[in-house]
Amino acid sequence: MYDLIIIGAGVIGSAIAREISRYRLNVAVLEKSEEPAFGVSKSNSGIIHPGTQNRPGTLKGKLCVQGNRLTRMIAKELGIDFKKVGELIVALDNDELVSLSDIKREAEALGVPGLKLVGRAWLKKNEPNLTEEAVGALYAPTAGIISPYRWVYDLLENAKANGVEVHTSTRVIGIRRVEDPLSADRGPRFEKRIAHSAESKAWVERLYALCALRYADDRTRTDPGDGGPGTGNYFELATSRGMFRSRFMVNAAGLYADEVARMAGIEDFVIYPRKGEEFILDKKKHNLTRHLIFPIPTKTSKGILVIRTSDGNPMIGPTAQDVDSKEDLSTSEEGFRRVLESVKKYVPSIDENDIIAYFAGLRPASGDDFIIRHEDAFPGMVTVAGMQSPGLTAAPAVALFVRDILKKNGLDLRRKPFFRRWRREPYHLFSSSAEAARKMIKEDPAYGDIVCRCEMVSSKEIREAVRRGARTLDGIKFRTRAQAGRCHGGFCTARILKILAEETGENITSITKRGRGSEIVVRDMNDGGC
């Protein structure tokens, strides 16, 4: 029996897991994908917003400002690269200039520090590639950049180091609440106790019978009396990897938060996927801008931006387009044209030939604000949904908010005597001095065995990534940058496949790009026949 199960290993689930790992609790994170951060979190701009462009009185505004501060603090603790680069919201005419003052006033009401209206002269000096048309800008110094997936991995690994279990490839397919007949804390009885939308009750019963054959928390199952009368209410989560039981539960399922909610009979919100296409420029252009460049926001979006990333490549985007499918991650020629046209108004020197890569992500949109609440109709369950921008920034503040909700609803928070707050910064051969590099190679020759020539990633770092949980080519890429350089894996994929196979004991034929169904090769030619 777990004390808490978190559904979803994106940035929200990971930040909550890390926060809760301070307490003496038995916690598990369930993730449907092969690896963490493979959903909404991986296709993120990586901006840690200062808190501007949010309405006062919203959860977004409050948690973004607080999250900015917390992110900087935790990034330091975990030794992850966070750069405070600052942002400029740029006005191109006098009307826009007027709205800058409104934005500033609203942001200051939320507590965003250090805001300053700057004019042409300041811009010319501090952002030389910005268009001459710019008449002024709002400067927010606390805006920063982070690698979104490395952020998730580091939060989650730190949570693991503090005792949290992470179960990947574990898809939740049914949730039911089991009430203890002796418990005083009984929720309202309602028929949808075993709720699974559009499924017959018999099907659900069969599903549970099947899952009950394999309890994931076997070690506590034999505990006499556990889950029996007098031990309290709990949830049974039927998953693709057997049954999980927990006293409390957080739904941080991103794009699928509405589907998880429906399993618990909660049907008052829907997640609408809103696509954003982003385009990455060559690292050689790392000096394109000094700040993050924003247009004046519209009602629904912060607009198309010129972004600096922690990997050094500038990025332009994102678009914002409502789509039908939660799996539609395609990029388009129109998106490309729209982004290019839009950013050239702000930074005219951007050239389409400098674009070396692109991707699309889906925002889990649901109304105007985040949905973070205890489900009183399903006691013990907390929903965290609609976590679109500024979700990445807000994540550590969301974690505190959720912690308090859980506490208020009966989760007993007692601190562990020892919490591993710090993490040694992993080193990279080419960010060290020549002498240090020499020493590293002498101590471990694998540091000198370069696998990815474009990003200079050694076999040591790749094996290390596998030991830390990478199982797929994308997982290796997000953790180490191998395959993310100019050749896009043309040279190193064959070698990475071999290392993954060696480290995991799998056949090369079962190594995937991002989980089952995305196998790289279809046949071992040495395996006889055709």
Does 129 help bind other proteins (rule: CB under 8 A)? no
Kindly list the distances between the CA atom of residue 419 and the CA atoms of 21, 159, 162, 415, in Å, as whole numbers in the listed order: 8, 10, 7, 8
Give the pair of three-digit tokens for residue 91. Answer: 């006005």
Per-residue b or e along 49-58, where b marks 16 or more CB atoms closer than 10 Å to that residue's CB = bbbbbbeeee
Does 433 help bind other proteins (rule: CB under 8 A)? no
Does 227 help bind other proteins (rule: CB under 8 A)? no
| Segment 462 to 481, residues that bind other proteins, using CB under 8 A | 473
Ramachandran bin of 300, using left for φ above 0, alpha for ψ from -120 to 50, beta for the remaining angles: alpha
**Of the candidate residues 190, 203, 422, 430, the single one contacting other proteins (CB under 8 A):** 430
Nearest to other proteins of 251, 512 (CB atom): 512
| Segment 177 to 206, residues that bind other proteins, using CB under 8 A | none
Nearest distance, CB of residue 285 and other proteins, angstroms: 12
Q: Cis bond leading into 426, ω under 30°?
A: no
Nearest distance, CB of residue 15 and other proteins, angstroms: 27
Does 489 help bind other proteins (rule: CB under 8 A)? yes
Dihedral (Cα; 459, 462, 467, 470), 10-degree rounding? -160
Nearest distance, CB of residue 323 and other proteins, angstroms: 12
Does 512 help bind other proteins (rule: CB under 8 A)? yes
Which of the ranges 144-152, 172-180, 314-322, 483-491 carries the binding residues for other proteins, by CB under 8 A? Answer: 483-491
Nearest distance, CB of residue 119 and other proteins, angstroms: 35
Q: Give CA–CA dist 507/504, Å, rounded.
A: 9
Torsional sign, CA 434, 435, 439, 440: negative
Give the pair of three-digit tokens for residue 242. Answer: 């057997």
CB 27 within 8 A of CB 21: yes
Nearest distance, CB of residue 527 and other proteins, angstroms: 9
Give the pair of three-digit tokens for residue 466. Answer: 């596998």
| Segment 291 to 330, residues that bind other proteins, using CB under 8 A | 327, 329-330
- Per-residue x/- marks for other proteins, 379-418, CB under 8 A? ----------------------------------------
Does 208 help bind other proteins (rule: CB under 8 A)? no
Ramachandran bin of 161, using left for φ above 0, alpha for ψ from -120 to 50, beta for the remaining angles: alpha
Q: Give CA–CA dist 46/148, Å, rounded.
A: 5
Binding site residues, other proteins, CB under 8 A: 327, 329-333, 336, 355-359, 430, 434, 437-438, 441-442, 445, 448-450, 453, 456, 473, 486-491, 493-494, 497-498, 508-509, 512-526, 528-530
